Amino acid sequence: MRPNIVDQVDQTFWLITGISIFLLALITVAMIYFVFKYSKKRHPVAENIEGNTTLEIVWTIIPVILVLIMFFVSWSGFKNMRDVPKDAMVVTVTGQMWKWTFEYDNKKKSDTLFLPANKDVKFEIKSVDVNHSFYLPAFRTKEDAIPGRVNHYWIRTNEPAVYYAACAEYCGLNHSYMYAPVIVIPEKKFIEWKNYTPPDT
């Protein structure tokens, strides 16, 4: 069973946050210590301080190791997000100023994203005008919508609930209003909705 994308993103976030807080505390304590230890009051006459090769090696190697850890953890999540399950349902996402349009395999289009519960879904993302960014906060996924190019990622939907999609890249005057409801419903109801054709009036 492949890892959950939401869990991977959250774990990466907390790992980086934890490392950052630790380093901030370490550097702050060291700075305060040296401010007092080498203050003018304690050392009225300036002194030359010799370098310490061991210390310089340590403070070079440790950051390199930490950066590599963060890279590999992040890369693992990114690779999973790109590795789309073969049976994933495909939804074409089109961004334009200033709305999202969703198209399903039967050519049905909607400005609300309806998805079946507990299903793998691949989004093929494009734009018809300027750069946008298709962001699903609840699923921790985001990808640029670029004119002339199709990007993608996939998610695994949860139990029925209402979420939202947003544009995460400034795209003009009404960028802040570029939201779309994301409604996850039972698969049976989704199939009924997708195949429903309004009667001619």
- Can you give the pLDDT at residue 200? 65
- Write the CA distances from 135 to 13, 58, 157, 178, integer angstroms: 17, 40, 15, 11
Q: What is the pLDDT of residues 52-92, one digit of tens each?
A: 889 899 989 999 999 999 999 999 988 998 899 999 999 99
pLDDT of residue 153: 93
CA–CA separation, 113 vs 121, rounded Å? 12
Global confidence as pTM: 0.81
- What is the rounded distance in angstroms from the CA atom of residue 57 to the CA atom of residue 53? 6
Residue 169 has pLDDT above 80, yes or no: yes
| Angle in degrees, CA 67, 71, 73, rounded to 5 | 120
pLDDT of residue 43: 75
| CA atoms within a 13 Å half-sphere pointing along the CA-CB vector of 194 | 22
Position 199 confidence tier, pLDDT thresholds 50, 70, 90: confident
Model pLDDT, residue 47: 75
Average pLDDT over residues 19-44: 88
pLDDT given at position 48 = 77
Q: Residue 166: its pLDDT value, please?
A: 96
The pLDDT score that the predictor gives to residue 2 is 78
DSSP 147: B
Residue 192 has what pLDDT?
93
Structure tokens, 162: 């209402």
**Cα–Cα distance for residue pair 10/74, rounded to 1 Å:** 10
Whether the pLDDT of residue 201 is over 70: the answer is no
pLDDT in tens, 92-145: 999 999 999 999 999 999 999 999 999 999 999 999 999 999 999 999 999 999
